[in-house]
Structure 1
Amino acid sequence: MVFCFVVGTDPENAFEIEGSAEMSISKLRDIIYEKNKNGFKNFNSNKLNLWKVDIPGDTNDVKMKTLQSRSRDMDKENITIQELGGQKMAPFSDFCNIFMDDSKNIRIIVQPPLSTTTVSLMHIIPDKVKIEIKNNVIKIFPHLDIFSINQLVDVLAFIWNVQAVERVSSSSQNDRALN
């Protein structure tokens, strides 16, 4: 048995997974995906990165404090995982070779892919704007998980940019009509 933590959630939402000797990390990834399918949308299980860690559940532990203070900071998630001693697990490795003993510690950090939105180049939103939108969304909707926040930010930024493009294009049409 190992406990898993998903980047973008709170450490209190860590969950237990039962592993077996013959199970691969790829199969473990599928099990984790199924257990969290409501939070994992718009991507397949093979897009999840799994990191081996050892983080005691004690809230006074330095690693747990790091995880608690930065668990929702998607922009710096790779740095945080490295600070926590994370080692990326290969999909073809065997569960039993990595996790030899049961533990009540968080042993796996699950890193979903960053949310992606397909837009044309003329609709790429500056990072400063997206960060400002994201900060406002987090203030207004603190209960939302990071995946929902990122999707909402992408939609709001896209809407904001389309409206800006429409304003520019309608004002240039008005300028041409005046000439």
Structure 2
Amino acid sequence: MAYYLVLGEVPAKRKLDYVEFDSSKRVMILRNTIYDEKKNTFSSIDRNDLILWKVDIPFDCENDKLKMLDNVLGTINIKKDLKGEEMLPGDEISKYLRNLPPSSIHILVQPPPPATNGKCLPMVYLSN
């Protein structure tokens, strides 16, 4: 079992969830399981667009990493700021999730950024 959080869901302590897994399976199976558990959250997202990160963020005490997750206006570099390691879909889960601390977020789920079409709406001024 591992605790996970979807990036952007706050407050982190209340939004975290857990997932059961077989560590001999592939990360893509874990990603699909999380996707299925959070169908409403990911309703407009393809499952293969989710990125899983292995992190170690204690949730039983206040700390800087937890505060970063709760700061919805901040930008987080998961690799640098949270010491995250991207979990590649084809790797075995056991490569990343072994000897997990009991009161920590172990997986951070990064959804893709919101889609934009890059087009601006034209402004029309009418005069009499």
Class of the TM-score when normalised by the shorter of the 2 chains: 0.7 to 0.9
Among 15, 18, 26, the residue aligned to 1:16: 18
Structure 1 match to 2:98: 100
* Residue identity opposite 1:91 in structure 2: P
Structure-2 separation of matches of 1:43 and 1:118: 16
- The structure in which a higher percent of residues are strand is 2
Count of aligned pairs between the two proteins: 125
The SS at the match of 1:67 is helix
The SS at the match of 2:75 is helix
Higher RCO, 1 vs 2 (CA within 8 Å, ≥6 residues apart): 2
Larger radius of gyration: 1
* Residue identity opposite 1:108 in structure 2: I
The share of aligned pairs that are identical, in percent, is 30
Q: Confirm or deny: 8 A CA contact 1:2 1:104 kept in the other structure.
A: no
Q: Show structure 2 runs of 5+ residues with no match.
A: none
Give the TM-score, by structure 2 length. Answer: 0.84
* Residue identity opposite 2:75 in structure 1: K
Aligned ranges 1:17-166 → 2 under 5 Å: 17-68=19-70, 70=71, 72-73=72-73, 76-77=75-76, 79=77, 82-102=80-100, 103-118=102-117, 121=119, 123=120, 161=121, 165=123
- The structure in which a higher percent of residues are helix is 1
Give the TM-score, by structure 1 length. Answer: 0.62
Q: CA RMSD in A?
A: 2.0
